[in-house]
Amino acid sequence: MIEIYAGSTLLQSIKKVMSANVRETLEGEYTLSFTVLAKSALALKVKQIAKLDDQYFEIVQISKSLQGSLPICSVICEHVSYILNHEMYNITEFDFTGDPAAGLAQVLSGTPFNVGIVDFTESVTMKINQEVSRRAALMQYIAILGGEIEYDGYNINIRSHRGSTDYIPVMDSKNVTNVAVSHDSRENASSYDISFFKLLNLAVGDNVQIVFSSLGINVKTRIISLEYNPFYRYNIRVEVGRYRPSISDTFYRIESSLNNVGSSVDDIQNQVNDLGVSYTIVSNLVVTETTIDVTYTVEKGDTHQYHAQYQYTTDSGGRITSITLDNIFSELLLKEVSTLTVDMMSFYIEYADGTTATYNYTVDSGGRITSVTKV
């Protein structure tokens, strides 16, 4: 049964539908859609609340049409947590380190939602310094924890593992009347449409073992999305695969810090220029997502350059936590040889840049070189 509310006032109860569908995913998607006869939908309006199985959905779209001569009404609803996408809940800064439940309370502060069950206890850090929606901030916080969102009315739970950790068998038996499977390499996931003679209680996040010998299927996997008709749960659609929460790296900008580094390098270079001595300077500095590429210029008589590449890591707030030298190339050490001429006592080298060098060498009685001296 679907109950329709305007605020806290119950407007009507819908006990019969032409069709209905609930879709829920581990990523936090949760939607409800249903179709009824138009005469049963006269009081329905967008922004009303639909309650189903103690979960609350906001009506976001109502469509009316004729099927033959039958007037029908189609309704699309989104879980009430989607209101956190509204601009009024946007935040421009967030800085928290501490207990995960306390952090969730800070994320939800000023919204209609409450802190539910939080399975995590170790300290967590999240920093935001640009405008994002509150729902995006919530999902980022959960991803940093490595958790999974679970809705309980207006309570937000963060679970370490939703659903059953034991593998629930879904097997070819008299209980399964129809099955269809499709694989999608782009999403690294498989979808199963399964019809049951008797209801099998499955939930998002459940570990399942799917065995259909006639189709050559025997896999242990996890439900990452689930679709079903809440009025007739004998036909369900499950999507299975591996789930990894996605952490965005765009919530905290570090460009200003890198610009400050560049300015500091310029200042140092100017100060050293004033000294009038031989020196090594940073002539170019490029920071990518994972590396710092530096070009050093050595001025000592002639001008030479060498290049170094450093790998660096950052914390969740975008601060650099470690820098490691990964590669170095020096034209002082490596030069391309254009011509090499060897005679009885010496060899002559001409480099590609036009410079030359002569080396004398000695050999032992077997003709092996024992020493080399630059002339």
Pairing status of strand 30-37 against strand 70-79: antiparallel
Please give the pLDDT value at position 340: 74
SS3 121: coil
Contact 74, 68 (CB under 8 A): no
Please give the pLDDT value at position 91: 94
Contact 144, 124 (CB under 8 A): yes
Distance CA 84, CA 80 (A): 8
Short-list 106, 254, 105, 244, CA closest to 188: 244
Short-list 280, 28, 238, CA closest to 147: 28
Q: Is 32 exposed, middle or buried, given 0-12, 13-18 or 19+ CB atoms closer than 10 A? A: buried
Rounded to 10 degrees, what is the CA torsion of 169, 170, 175, 179?
-170
Structure tokens at 321: 């936590």
Return the ∠ at Cα 174 (arms to 168 and 178), rounded to 5°: 85
Distance CA 195, CA 200 (A): 10
**Helices assigned H by DSSP within the chain:** 100-107, 134-145, 255-273
Contact 193, 180 (CB under 8 A): yes
Chain CA centroid to CA 321, Å = 21
Query: What are the residues whose beta carbons fall under 8 Å from the beta carbon of 341, sequence distance 6 or more?
Result: 347, 348, 349
Please give the pLDDT value at position 270: 57
Please give the pLDDT value at position 306: 67
Distance CA 311, CA 327 (A): 9
Query: What are the residues whose beta carbons fall under 8 Å from the beta carbon of 235, sequence distance 6 or more?
Result: 193, 194, 195, 196, 228, 229
Distance CA 127, CA 95 (A): 4
Q: How far does the chain reach from its first CA to its final CA, in angstroms?
A: 97
Q: What is the DSSP letter of 276?
A: T
Residue 177 has phi, psi (to 5 degrees) of: -95, -35
Distance CA 219, CA 171 (A): 11
Q: Digits of tens for pLDDT over the chain (375 positions)?
A: 999 999 999 999 999 999 999 999 999 999 999 999 999 888 899 999 999 999 999 999 999 998 888 999 999 999 999 999 999 999 999 999 999 999 999 999 999 999 999 999 999 999 998 999 999 999 999 999 999 999 999 999 999 999 999 998 887 666 677 777 787 777 666 777 777 766 678 899 999 888 888 778 888 888 888 899 999 887 788 888 777 666 666 665 544 444 554 555 455 555 545 544 455 676 677 777 778 877 777 665 555 666 778 787 777 667 776 777 777 665 545 566 677 777 777 877 787 777 888 878 777 776 777 777 777
Distance CA 307, CA 328 (A): 6
Structure tokens at 269: 């270079």
